[in-house]
Amino acid sequence: MKDYFDEAPTFLNEFFRRRFRMSKRLFLRIVDDLEAFKQKPNARGALGFTGIQKCTSALRILAYGNITDINDEYLKMAEKTTRDSLEHFCRGIIDVYCARYLRTPTWDDLQKIYEVHNAEHGLPGMIGSIDCMHWRWDNCPTAWRGQHTRGDQKGPTIILQAVASQDLWVWSAYFGVVGSCNDINVFEQSPLLEEWISGKAPKVFDFREDV
């Protein structure tokens, strides 16, 4: 709490964003929204870990790819508690935010996005940019390093494909493709293309990939 959440914390907001991969305001909102992370008494009546501690534990694992016993020293949290917190965090994010943030755009959403792009860039019929980025995987198993390594990258990676609109709202995210693929390979196996081929995508979609 003294490090990040006191009135005069040891580490300023820029350090918080770098280490937690989000702003402190967003972090505290997530803590408040996740019911599973409310502080509760155990069988002996003693209060357990706070929501801030549990969210910190989960985000340290996700942000740095650490093993689950890494929080023993800093948070005094056992490996099983860390693993349970991580699972509850991931499930909680889906349950709480799926309906608003983890959805495909509606027809009304697309019309609004069209209007903005046409006004800003003069590109009618475009909803956003689709592109891929490589995430370093330093702990990649040796047996998998070949398929996750590409010549223009410094080590093993996993690819994220995302579609973002003008307001930086991410409408689609496809993560997990091996790092040896290029953007076209990723697009060919993307759920976006599958939906378009199967006729499930809105008819107003216009895919233009930045290769």
How do residues 168-205 score in pLDDT, each as one tens digit? 788 888 999 999 999 899 999 988 888 878 877 766 54
Which helix or strand (DSSP H or E) is residue 77 part of? none
At 62, is the pLDDT very low, low, confident or very high (cuts 50, 70, 90)?
confident
The structure tokens 């370093």 sit at 136
How do residues 116-135 score in pLDDT, each as one tens digit? 888 887 877 777 778 899 98
At 142, is the pLDDT very low, low, confident or very high (cuts 50, 70, 90)?
very high
Greater model confidence, 52 or 207: 52
Which helix or strand (DSSP H or E) is residue 15 part of? helix 13-20
pLDDT of residue 8: 87
pLDDT of residue 179: 93
Q: Could you tell me the residue ranges of all domains in the chain? A: 1-99, 107-198
Query: Which range, of 18-22, 77-81, 125-129, 136-140, averages the lowest pLDDT?
Result: 125-129
pLDDT surpassing 90 at residue 210:
no
122 conformational bin, left if phi > 0, alpha if psi -120 to 50, beta if neither: left
Highest mean pLDDT among 61-65, 82-86, 99-103: 82-86
Give the residue among 166, 84, 159, 89 at the shortest CA–CA distance from 121. Answer: 166
Residue type present at position 100: R
Percent of all residues in the chain with a pLDDT value above 90, rounded to a whole number: 18
How do residues 149-164 score in pLDDT, each as one tens digit? 999 998 999 999 988 8
Cα–Cα dist 27/4, whole Å: 11
Query: What value does the mean pLDDT of the chain take?
Result: 84
pLDDT of residue 77: 86
Percent of all residues in the chain with a pLDDT value above 70, rounded to a whole number: 94
pLDDT of residue 203: 64
pLDDT surpassing 60 at residue 206:
no
pTM strictly above 0.85: no
In the sheet that holds 129-136, the strands lie side by side as: 129-136, 157-164, 170-178
CB 163, CB 192: distance < 8 Å:
yes
Cα–Cα dist 191/120, whole Å: 28
